[in-house]
Amino acid sequence: MRWDGKALELIDQRKLPQVEEYLKCTTSDCVASAIKDMVVRGAPAIGATAAFGYVIGAMENVKNLTEERMNSVKEKLAKTRPTAVNLFWALDRMNSKFLSLKGQKPDFIIDELNKEAEKIACEDIDVNKKMGEYGQKLLPEDSTVITHCNAGALATVDYGTALGMIHAAIDHGKHVSAYVDETRPYLQGARLTAWELMKLGVKTTLICDNMAGWVMKTRKVDAVIVGADRIAANGDVANKIGTYSLALLAKRHNVKFYVVAPLSTIDVKIKSGLEIPIEERSHDEVTAVRGVKIAPEKVGVYNPAFDVTDADLVDAIITEKGILTYPYDKKIADITRGG
């Protein structure tokens, strides 16, 4: 993403890897649509995008910068995606900043909100690098991993969460090969992760989602590495649909299953994954591929965008404050209380 203080430019991830094109947003409506329509995706990236969208919303209301109007901006942005907790975390942080500036001149308020949004973006990069540094210690010198969805620089402000762990391992001189799940139905693995890993110089092998179990059984795989959209207080992890299946397969084949996610992804208000709302997206994503119909007309479709992986299936959650291992309840409570 690019931010010049007035407009937010977002690389249109729907068009990658064939076309590298940016969408320029100068209104909060445009930012909301970009999040909802998956121009931008990935929990940390969504959070930072929403923060800048909040700033744009303040600019739109500069002549009448009231709490009521900013609540409307916040609500509009919050309605875009229900599962990724970073969205709500960033908007709450921006709203708290706004409320703390009550009585100040509008131009000063907007300037301070801009600084807060930029701080959120810069913090994300620093957090990702810290997680990568912790996580790479879990990988052998010669590692083979399986990835799911996209948790790289495209899903964050920069560097990445799950892919940041691979990036850090390479920076430490380790050799990493990756099997990349295509990640149906939106194909974030095929379109985005494969593209990012190849740019990093990683030996990348694309597989269909239903091939992962066979790869674990017949090839050397050291770890499955994924990101997260929301983590409950007990360590249950909501991530892109298909993650739960990978965790079960990893357990069966004695493959380590790692989740890389910042503390902002942990929602301590939710006791378990049973309380995490799961977004269901358009049926067209399943019945068509890149606009080409592949299914019969009027066929029934179920398209949950995420699933929840039980905490006992996760070998470690890597955060910017360190590596957590199962059981997670007390460790998550301690680490979130501390920072």
Give the residue from 326, 330, 325, 323 showing the smallest Cα distance to 131.
Answer: 323
Neighbours of 186 (CB within 10 A): 24
Give the residue from 220, 208, 199 showing the smallest Cα distance to 144.
Answer: 220
Return d(Cα 226, Cα 155) in angstroms, integer: 12
Structure tokens at 233: 């207080």
**Among 124, 158, 181, 229, which one carries the catalytic annotation?**
229
Return d(Cα 121, Cα 326) in angstroms, integer: 30
Residue 75: exposure state from Cβ atoms within 10 A (0-12, 13-18, ≥19): exposed
> Please, which residues bridge with residue 230 across strands?
238
Contact by Cβ (8 Å): 161, 167: no
Instruction: Establish whether 229 is a catalytic residue.
Output: yes
Cα dihedral sign, 45-48-54-55:
negative
3-class secondary-structure state, position 170: helix
Which residues are marked as active site? 229
